[in-house]
Structure 1
Amino acid sequence: MTREEIVELADAVAAHGGIASGIGTTRYGAQLSVEAGDREAAVERASAVFADAAAKAGLPSWPIADVGVTGEEDDLGFLA
């Protein structure tokens, strides 16, 4: 992935407090924030936001390999 491609992805996820990675690699990724009622809804929403951001950045439409979720209860030291 080129610097320009990842900068475009970073711009596309910025509205969700996002950051992007992948410069000089054969993959790309992002970390972003969404609000949802539960973990499953968060995964759905974040996956949709990510796919839309990748499309806006002109990146290949590859399958999402991994999704991690951290919620407010995790910040407080509770485990779901």
Structure 2
Amino acid sequence: MRWSVGIEAEGDRVFSREEIVELADAVADSHGVATGIGTDRYGAQLLVVADSRDDAIAVATGVFRAAAEKAGLPAAPIVRTEAISEAEEATEAGEPR
């Protein structure tokens, strides 16, 4: 099942446009987008395949951590995660399964 997973990490400083662009490049392979320009948090929304919400968050967390390292961002505690499956998203939008 496909999942859309949002993750944010909170750092101890404000992150620049260039740093978040590097993160965006690093998550692009996972159909991801990055957030955090001008804030003390950096994050991403990623698409992953997993059997459950917990598995989706675990897979996305690994991808996110690797992307942050590749982008040269400091390791920071994850302060937010959320995941929604493709089926849940369709139901919320009122679409038939």
Q: Please give the alpha-carbon distance, in whole angstroms, between the structure 1 residues aligned to 2:72 and 2:57.
A: 22
Give structure 1 stretches of 5+ with no counterpart. Answer: none
Give structure 2 stretches of 5+ with no counterpart. Answer: 1-14, 93-97
Q: More helix per residue: 1 or 2?
A: 1
Q: Which residue of 1 aligns with 2:62?
A: 48
| Number of aligned residues | 78
Q: Runs (4+) of structure 1 moved beyond 2 Å?
A: none
More contact order relative to length (CA 8 Å, sep ≥ 6): 2
SS of the residue 1:28 aligns to: strand
Q: Please give the alpha-carbon distance, in whole angstroms, between the structure 1 residues aligned to 2:90 and 2:76.
A: 34
Q: Which residues of 2 match residues 3-18 of structure 1 at below 5 A? A: 3-18=17-32
Q: Deviations over 1:9-47 (max 9, x none)?
A: 000000011111111111111111100011111010000
Give the aligned residue type for 1:71. Answer: S
Q: Which residue of 1 aligns with 2:42?
A: 28
SS of the residue 2:69 aligns to: helix
Give percent identity, aligned residues only.
Answer: 53
Q: More strand per residue: 1 or 2?
A: 2
Q: Which residue of 2 aligns with 1:71?
A: 85
Q: How big is the shift at 1:77?
A: 1.3
